Amino acid sequence: MKIFEEIPIKEPSGELLGAVNFPSDLRELDLKDLPKFSDELREYLLYSVGQTGGHFGAGLGVVELTAALHYVFDTPKDKIVWDVGHQAYPHKLITGRKEAMDTIRQTNGLAPFPSRSESEYDTYGVGHSSTSISAALGMAAAARLKGEDKEVVAVIGDGAMTAGMAYEALSHAGSIDENILVVLNDNQMSISENVGGLKNYLAKVWASPLYNQIRKGGKTVLRFIPAASRIARRAEIQAKGLLTPGTLFEELGLSYIGPVNGHDPVAMVKILNELKTMGGPRLLHIITQKGKGFLPAELDPIGYHAINKIKPLKRQEEGEKLPTFSQIFGEWLCYKAEKESLLTAITPAMREGSGLIEFSTKYPDRYYDVAIAEQHSVSLAAGMACEGLKPVVAIYSTFLQRAYDQLIHDVALQNLNVLFAIDRAGLVGADGPTHQGAFDISYLRCIPNMIVMTPSDENNTWKMLNTGFNYQGP
């Protein structure tokens, strides 16, 4: 794999990538050429995002996975559902949109996330997290009922897997035995040579037809001997539990394969081809690195989650930047926490975006990052308020929509003292329709006991935060 240290200024001219406009072109390449193709795809991705700005680290981490998926599956007949969509830039590049990438996140340009109206390869519109497995399961059910022979793949990150909706979908998938493949893109772990090699070997064994024929044959025989079946199942779980973290998924009814190296496209193609022959609900666990292949992003994956476009060489004088709501809120929160020992701060995986870095460092025992769990964040705050704490929920407007029932049922109807600091309200621009905060006043003003305040400047923000904190209700 080629490691880049700088973002290319000049448009790359990769030989293999230049011959690929659609996945059908990609499938004409020799398998041995996929690593070189992946290098060229990564280089063009660096150049493209450098020109326009946009989501960066997630796409770099799934270059090889994107190539392998489109190489193995007959897209667009077979369906790939991307969760959230931060990682979909490589997918856009090889599905007929390379020449339009310089318009992404701009008026009348390409959408920043997959969009059904943009391409037949974008099977499901996304922007929020943890919806992919549910959507893919629905597509798999539709294919079966319509008698269509097609594969459906959901690609979901380990962050999105923290949301309850993802587990609801996994549980349902395991119970109805639809033909669906879930790819768990885990970029929170590093793989050492020895452990990675062993687990990749086991993954190949567990994906092989021989292993699955033995396993299915054994189940058929043991079905007539209930006691023996239970003993064999317990033995299998205990044996695999020593070697793999997949026991949870197996218990939910999915065949678990992994973990495997998500930056080896040749190995992934072989495993994906084996998985195609298995059928039923399957989960492939791959290990990747966010920002892979671009050294600065590997060293700082949070900082390189998204980037601004490269500035022109001619120096331009910039005026003084006004403070953002997030910055003002973060300063107020730390100031208030010093005086109020019962103040707590809750966020659903938005520490940086909501201005909570300083608070999380100064008051770690009063800081709660609940991951991508908006519903839980609101009910957690309600429980704290019941016992006299003063919870502050820092959340984006578009994500608060996901906890609407909890707002009404858990907080408002009980008139609990919870302060919501709602960020990214109004029109947010380049992130598009899935992230607009245009509905909050409409959906909040009709809730009983709810007071809604909208500040216009820094001074106003401080006053309204103080008023909201002292108000005895939501």
Q: Which of 299, 267, 272 is nearest to 155 (CA)?
A: 272
Q: How far is Cα 71 from Cα 273, in angstroms, rounded to an integer?
A: 10
Q: Which residues are catalytic?
A: 290, 374, 402
Site of tokens 């107020």 = 332
Q: How far is Cα 392 from Cα 344, in angstroms, rounded to an integer?
A: 6
Q: Where are the beta strands (DSSP E) in 63-199?
A: 79-82, 152-157, 180-186
What angle (nearest 5°) sits at the alpha carbon of residue 35, between those of residues 32 and 37? 100
Site of tokens 């190995």 = 267
Q: Which of 97, 159, 163, 165 is nearest to 290 (CA)?
A: 159
Which amino acid does the sequence have at 459? N
DSSP annotation of 437: B
402: left (phi over 0), alpha (psi -120 to 50) or beta: alpha
Which residues fall within 8 angstroms of residue 67, CB to CB, at 6 or more apart?
Answer: 26, 34, 37, 38, 41, 90, 94, 265
Q: How far is Cα 64 from Cα 62, in angstroms, rounded to an integer?
A: 6
